[in-house]
Amino acid sequence: MKDLLDNLDKAFESRVRLGIMAILMVNEQVDFNQLKELLEVTDGNLASHLKQLETSSYIAVSKQFVGRKPNTTYAATEQGKIAFEQHLNAIEQLFNNKKTNI
Amino acid sequence: MDDREHLHTLTEIRSLMERSSRFISLSGLSGISAGVCACVGVGVLVVRWGIPLFSQSEVSFYELATVEFIKFLLIDVFCVLISALLLALYFTRRKAKIKGLPFWDKSASRLLVNLFIPLAAGGIFSLSMIYHHFAVFIPATTLVFYGLALLNASKYTLHDIRALGLAEMALGLCASFLLGYSLLFWLIGFGILHIIYGTIMYFKYEK
């Protein structure tokens, strides 16, 4: 049991960070406002979670200008995608283990 | 975290992935209404020009391809297209409101762009066929291009639309060989298939 829990990624412990990764798994690029609408969180909250994912190099950030407005888009890195999949597999295994124990 | 919480997390992830990449507010009722519009459009053609639906007769698109007929045909098709689009918009908006989803977002615009690229190509191609007096191929061409457009759009909305696209393409290809039955294929493709598809979608996702 201990081993299985070790496979869960600390970076995905938060609901928001898990949500961000889920969205970036199926979309090439997503900007800040889209994430905010989909996850229904505040600017500050989202920004800090994004920062944490960026620090663990699970997401890549690119900044550009649309007209004169700055626009920041986010994409999942290869490393992030692998980590996310492993995390989901770990959750799935927890489930399966419970079932066989019963 | 206990089981229930894990399960909740997984459902949430799945829903986020769906919602962020696909436009899921498309209503089955919009399919049904589009089908009804198409049936009316074909009905008008049958009544006004006396084209028989079920027999490969003398009176076909080919014989009728006069300027007057083509004009009538274009107006008829245009009216069907506009009314089908407006009704689709109305029902989709209604579904989005009921489900509390945004009606217009990035996934909606992605869906429309990818639907309209093959559709516009097909439309222009059809016009070129009128120009070259090949109007007889229009039903087959429009069906094939519409099928391709749906196939392309299926990546950005409910998967089920892919099957509809394939069916439209198959019908269009049949129509290209059985030119005499063009109008019948049009009725089946744009009318009946839409109604069947819309009904299935309505009961699958909205009931």
Residue A3 is assigned to a structural domain of this protein: no
Residue B47 is assigned to a structural domain of this protein: yes
Query: What's the pLDDT at A68?
Result: 85
B6 CB near a chain A CB, below 8 Å? yes
Distances (CA, A) of B137 to B150, B169, B173, B183: 20, 14, 10, 11
On whether the CB atoms of residues B28 and B203 are closer than 8 A, the answer is: yes
Residue B31 is assigned to a structural domain of this protein: yes
The tally of domains found in chain B comes to: 1
Mutate to test the interface with A, among B13, B22, B111 (most CBs of A within 10 A): B13
Contact B20 A38 (CB under 8 A): yes
Give me the mean pLDDT over the B44-52 stretch: 84
Give me the mean pLDDT over the B14-31 stretch: 86
The tally of domains found in chain A comes to: 1
Q: What pLDDT, in 10s, does the model give residues B168-186? A: 999 999 999 988 888 899 9
Report the CATH number that the domain containing residue A45 is assigned in CATH: 1.10.10.10
Tell which residue, B169, B161, B139, B172, has the closest CA to residue B42.
B139
Classify residue B57 as left (phi > 0), alpha (psi -120 to 50) or beta: beta
Predicted confidence (pLDDT) at residue B37 exceeds the cutoff of 80 = yes
Query: What's the pLDDT at A101?
Result: 64
Interface of B with A in 44-83 (CB under 8 A): none
Q: What pLDDT, in 10s, does the model give residues B133-172? A: 888 888 999 999 999 999 999 988 888 999 999 999 999 9
B8 CB near a chain A CB, below 8 Å? no
**The pTM is what?**
0.76
Q: What pLDDT, in 10s, does the model give residues A49-70? A: 999 999 999 999 999 888 888 8
Structural domain that includes position A26? 9-101
